[in-house]
Amino acid sequence: MELEGKVSLVTGASRGIGRAIALKLANLGSKVAVNYRSTEASNKADAANVVESIIRLGREAMPVEADIRDGEAVKTMVEQVIAKWDKIDILVNNAGINRDTLLLRMSDDSWDDVLNTNLRGAYLCTKFAVRYMMRQEWGRIINISSVVGRVGNAGQSNYAAAKGGIIAFTKSIAREMGSRNITANAVAPGFIVTEMTNKLPPERRESMLAMIPLQRLGQPEDVAELVGFLATERAGYITGQVITIDGGAFP
Amino acid sequence: MTVEDQIREIVARITHVDKSIITRESTFKGMKADSLDVVQALVAVEEAFEIEIPDEEAQKFKNFGDFVSFVEKQVAQKEKV
Res B81 pLDDT > 90:
no
CA A237 – CA A251 distance, rounded (Å): 22
Res A211 pLDDT > 80:
yes
User: Which of B9, B32, B34, B36 has the highest number of chain A CBs within 10 A, making it the mutation to test binding with A?
Assistant: B36
User: Which of B11, B13, B32, B40 has the highest number of chain A CBs within 10 A, making it the mutation to test binding with A?
Assistant: B40
Average pLDDT, chain A: 96
Nearest to A173 by CA among A184, A163, A162: A184
CA B7 – CA B33 distance, rounded (Å): 15
Nearest to A126 by CA among A95, A85, A160: A95
CA B5 – CA B7 distance, rounded (Å): 5
User: Which of A75, A134, A137, A177 has the highest number of chain B CBs within 10 A, making it the mutation to test binding with B?
Assistant: A134
User: A180 and B36: CB-CB below 8 Å?
Assistant: yes
For residue B14, the one-letter residue type is I
- Find the helix packing angle between B64-80 and B35-49, rounded to 10°: 20
Report whether A243 contacts A167 (CB < 8 A). no
Q: Quick one: A42 exposed, middle or buried, by C-beta within 10 A (0-12, 13-18, 19+)?
A: exposed
- Residue of chain B whose alpha carbon sits nearest to that of A180: B36
Tens digit of each residue's pLDDT (9 = 90 or more) over A34-76: 999 988 789 999 999 999 999 999 999 999 999 999 999 999 9
- Residue of chain B whose alpha carbon sits nearest to that of A173: B36
CA A191 – CA B54 distance, rounded (Å): 45
Domains of chain B are 3-80 (1.10.1200.10)
User: A179 and B34: CB-CB below 8 Å?
Assistant: yes
**pLDDT computed for residue A95 by the predictor:** 97
**pLDDT computed for residue A13 by the predictor:** 98
**pLDDT computed for residue A5 by the predictor:** 97
Chain A nearest C-alpha distance from B75 (Å): 23
CB pairs under 8 A between A and B: 9
**pLDDT computed for residue A201 by the predictor:** 85
**Distance, CA of A241 to chain centre:** 15
On whether ipTM exceeds 0.85, the answer is no
Domains of chain A are 7-191+220-245 (3.40.50.720)
CA B7 – CA A57 distance, rounded (Å): 44
Tens digit of each residue's pLDDT (9 = 90 or more) over A67-124: 999 999 999 999 999 999 999 999 999 999 999 999 999 999 999 999 999 999 999 9
- Would you give the DSSP letter of residue B16? T
- A131 in reach of chain B (CB within 8 A): yes
Helices (H), A146-201: 148-151, 157-177, 195-198
User: A179 and B40: CB-CB below 8 Å?
Assistant: no
User: B43 and A177: CB-CB below 8 Å?
Assistant: no
CA A200 – CA A224 distance, rounded (Å): 22
**Which residues are within 8 A (CB) of A211 and not within 5 positions of it... i.e. 6 or more apart?**
A249
Report whether A10 contacts A34 (CB < 8 A). yes
CA distances from A30 to A4, A35, A131, A203, A221 (A): 5, 15, 20, 40, 17
- A180 in reach of chain B (CB within 8 A): yes
**pLDDT computed for residue A39 by the predictor:** 80
Helices (H), strands (E): how many in chain B?
4, 0
- Would you give the DSSP letter of residue A218? B
Nearest to A239 by CA among A105, A141, A156: A141
Neighbours of A50 (CB within 10 A): 24
For residue A181, the one-letter residue type is N
- Residue of chain A whose alpha carbon sits nearest to that of B10: A135
Letter string b/e over residues A206-233, b meaning 16 or more CB atoms within 10 A of that residue's CB: eebeeebeeeebbebebbbebbbbbbbe
Chain B residues with at least one Cβ partner in A under 8 Å:
34, 36, 40, 43
Chain B nearest C-alpha distance from A244 (Å): 30
Tens digit of each residue's pLDDT (9 = 90 or more) over B23-49: 999 999 999 999 899 999 999 999 999
β pairing state of A182-189 and A61-65: unpaired
